[in-house]
Amino acid sequence: MFKEFSLSTRSRTEFISIDHFLEEVVRSSGVQNGVCYIFVPHTTAAVTINENADPNVVRDILAKTEELIPANDRYRHMEGNADAHIKASFLGASEVVFIRDGRLMLGTWQSVFFCEFDGPRSRRVWIQVLKNE
């Protein structure tokens, strides 16, 4: 089962938890045990899994990513978002999360985040649910 959803980002760089979208897709798929793939069809955005309890965790990831790969540097790509492309490749375009008993199976502190590196924009996320019983 394939689903697409859209989201709007509000800053140049930002992490947005998408767990509720994923839970909804898994529920509507009816799959009890399997795998949920999350794929970001953009080249200046990514997806990652990390802590959602303390918002400072995400701020630290964004700040360190910016320090290592600054927006302004000697890049050749002239659209002003070369850093966003590099950040996207370092964080990655996809994640895999298990499904068990009809629910997304994440660790206690884990949340799935859409990673915006060249916003604000309208973005899409593609999801596929695969049965494995």
Tell me the torsion sign for CA atoms 82, 86, 91, 96: positive
Out of 12, 39, 66, 121, name the contact with its own copies by CB under 8 A. 39
The site for its own copies, by CB under 8 A, has a size of 58
Distance CA 123, CA 114 (A): 9
Asked if residues 36 and 105 have their Cβ atoms less than 8 Å apart, the reply is no
Site for its own copies in 104-133 (CB under 8 A): 105-110, 124, 126, 128, 130-132
d(CA 35, CA 132): 7
What is the x/- site pattern for its own copies, positions 57-96, by CB under 8 A? x-xxx-xxx--xx---x-xxxxx--x--xx-xxxxxxxxx
Beta-bridge partner residues of 47: 114
CA 133-30-34 angle, to 5 degrees, is 35
Q: Is 27 in the site for its own copies (CB under 8 A)?
A: no
Instruction: Give the residues lining the site for its own copies (CB under 8 A).
Output: 1-2, 33, 35, 37, 39-43, 48-51, 54, 56-57, 59-61, 63-65, 68-69, 73, 75-79, 82, 85-86, 88-98, 100, 105-110, 124, 126, 128, 130-132
